[in-house]
Amino acid sequence: MNLSEAEWTVMNAVWSKAPASVRDVQDRVGAERGWAHTTVKTMLDRLVAKGALREKKRANASIYEPRISREEARTSALRALLTRSFDGSFGSLVHHIVSEERLSKKERERLARQLGDDDAEERP
């Protein structure tokens, strides 16, 4: 599922306080983004249409719950990035991160350890 930057903002608000009303999301993101109540409602409706959220009615209010986890959304975003920017190659992404980004010594050691653990699991 491909989420826009604005949709990520709304999803993060819902993940942090689910179930959430329009007012709950508005309170969390409205001021920082400068969004009106109607904008938040439109974003929530868009996420329901995409299948990222489930809408339930309580009295006259809509209540929203995630249909996808944060981890599922991250995995989908990473797969889209890999396909779009790295020809689907995770190795190319890792190479880019290691060569182009400033990783601390601790981050490099952790990455090397994780890659080593993966290699050990693959060996017979």
31: domain CATH number is: 1.10.10.10
Cβ contact 81:3 at 8 Å: no
pLDDT at residue 97, rounded to an integer: 82
Residues 41 and 74 reside in one and the same domain: no
| Mean pLDDT across 106-122 | 76
Evaluate whether residue 109 is within a structural domain.
yes
Residues 51 and 93 reside in one and the same domain: no
User: 75: pLDDT confidence band, cut at 50, 70 and 90?
Assistant: very high
Evaluate whether residue 61 is within a structural domain.
yes
Name every residue whose Cβ is closer than 8 Å to that of residue 37 and which is 6 or more positions away in sequence.
22, 23, 26, 30
The domain boundary residue, chosen from 28, 45, 66: 66
pLDDT at residue 47 is higher than 90: yes
Which of 8-17, 30-39, 110-119 is predicted with the least confidence, judged by mean pLDDT?
Answer: 110-119
Rounded CA separation 111/114 (Å): 5
Cβ contact 77:41 at 8 Å: no
| Mean pLDDT across 42-55 | 96
State pLDDT tens for residues 23-45.
Answer: 999 999 988 899 999 999 999 99
Evaluate whether residue 123 is within a structural domain.
no
Query: Rounded to an integer, what is the distance from CA 99 to the centroid of its chain?
Result: 25
Residues 62 and 9 reside in one and the same domain: yes
